[in-house]
Structure 1
């Protein structure tokens, strides 16, 4: 305790822990602060990764909107008017063209990559029909019809053949059933590519045609008659 001029002045006693220096350099102090703030207890209420991504996305959208409104005559009101005009044009196109339908990814071939017999296609058709899946039932029954004609050599097996081509090819040796074959091909195309739904009546027509074709005898063409004679 120092004594000055007869007065006693008490200086505070500072006790420091031996492990913590009184004068910490700047870099170690910053590192110690970063280590302290990195503890989970300080980040319990932080937004998760998805929330942070959404926040950044909406900030980006807001920046785009602000930029667009600044560049549009009339500001935000003009931008809203343009958006309404665009929506009206889209609605008119939707009404004029109808609901967009999914187009086939590869081709409009009647068969897929799997090779199955007519009996297998018929079995699949009946299973779909029993479950009320009329679209799939119509598809499989049409495949059964064409495969059966190929197995009977009325049609030659042709990779990539469409339902319309099969109906046209089969209608020549089977003219009595040409109309039914074209209708069956149209039903197949409607449910496969046209986005329409079949029903039990449609499937029954194809089933009846399949049964009738099993009993039908093809007519010989003039060239075939000449060769046979």
Structure 2
């Protein structure tokens, strides 16, 4: 019996599936941080040293080298902050009051599909979540479990003050369709989408250290 499911997807569909798979947070979790790379380099360097051998450096030089390396690591921590060993499972399973592991790209895609079907509540909610997810992926603002739409908007406004009013307006639209059973409109979705595109086009503020925002 012949099945109707294609064995191999068409090229555009295959590309879409591949991009979705590669943007899954699980891949980011497995990548070493800059701190991991520096620490491994230090370990490897010490592994090449041999005390008591004619060709190796004297003990005093080793002590001085260790002090210099420790000072460099301490300075890096002061400048860039502690490496973000975050529990990604917690941060990616809840987003603005709902369990959601989608990436910003996936949320935007789903929002556009919902908008094409005039499903404005879903389109607005997904697009606002895309803003939150994108800022988390860019390590600018991290919405912890329990963060409200307006709590996130205030945190994001501190990083992008030019968009403070739009962020509050978008949070109002999100709360309206999410909690107040408002139907939403094409104009409401356009407001949130325009905000998402504007923020996404802006460079990350410096220093690029994520602001953690909890429920408030």
Larger radius of gyration: 1
Give the TM-score, by structure 2 length: 0.50
Give the TM-score, by structure 1 length: 0.47
* Structure number with higher relative contact order (C-alpha < 8 Å, ≥ 6 residues apart): 2
